[in-house]
Amino acid sequence: MGSRASRLLREEEIEEIKKETGFSHRKITRLYRRFTSLDKGENGTLSREDFQRIPELDQVNFRGFMRTLAHFRPIDQDNEKNKNPSATEPLNSRTNKLLFAFRLYDLDRDGKISRDELLQVLRMIVGVNVSDEELGSIADRTIQEADTNGDGYISFNEFIMVLEKGNVDVEQMMSIWFLH
């Protein structure tokens, strides 16, 4: 993508994004406006300074932005029911949402959640009252509960099994309502 400030979004790009993410034309233009408003440096990418609260992101371009947001669209119920095995799954399918959740833990993308990765997440979301050792115990216990094959890591399948138990409403938990 170019580096000129407030570059207009081309029609064909919108089409591509629409196919990839499933957002409607109107939503894409709206989100593009949002993207450019976040993009303070006006270089067509969002950098760390733009995302004040998310320190881990380096550079996000609009496609990446949309791709990520696409995960949060509510699940298309018809899609779920009539699964076309040959077509690629839309980004907001149930499996892809779970994969997204999994990747939030599995930072090094090795397909398993290790104790350290869990600790990092725990540190971020548990309050300051809890010490590191307690956190370590929590992480240990979490792995112990979910780890069925005993390798000390949580694989994607084990992760799915835990979340599919029914206590957590996956669809509710990983969707937001994108306004018109």
Residues in the site for another protein, rule: CB under 8 A? 31, 34, 37-38, 51, 53-54, 69, 72, 74, 77, 101, 104, 115, 118, 121-122, 124-127, 129-131, 133-134, 136-138, 140-146, 152, 154, 159, 162-163, 165-169, 171-179
Residue 38 beta carbon to another protein: minimum distance, rounded to whole angstroms: 7
Name the residue nearer to another protein (CB basis): 1 or 126: 126
Reported as type and span, the H/E element at residue 140 is helix 132-146
Is the alpha carbon torsion for 61, 63, 64, 68 positive or negative? Answer: positive
Distance of alpha carbon 20 from alpha carbon 70, whole angstroms: 9
Distance of alpha carbon 92 from alpha carbon 98, whole angstroms: 9
Name the residue nearer to another protein (CB basis): 17 or 163: 163
Residue 122 beta carbon to another protein: minimum distance, rounded to whole angstroms: 7
Residue 86 beta carbon to another protein: minimum distance, rounded to whole angstroms: 27
Distance of alpha carbon 20 from alpha carbon 82, whole angstroms: 19
Residue 180 beta carbon to another protein: minimum distance, rounded to whole angstroms: 10
Residue 167 beta carbon to another protein: minimum distance, rounded to whole angstroms: 5
Burial classification of residue 3, based on how many CB atoms lie within 10 Å of its CB (0-12 exposed, 13-18 middle, 19 or more buried): exposed
Q: Kindly report the number of other CB atoms within 10 A of residue 70's CB atom.
A: 19
Name the residue nearer to another protein (CB basis): 87 or 176: 176
> How, if at all, do strands 154-155 and 112-113 pair?
antiparallel
Q: Which amino acid is at 123?
A: R
Name the residue nearer to another protein (CB basis): 22 or 136: 136
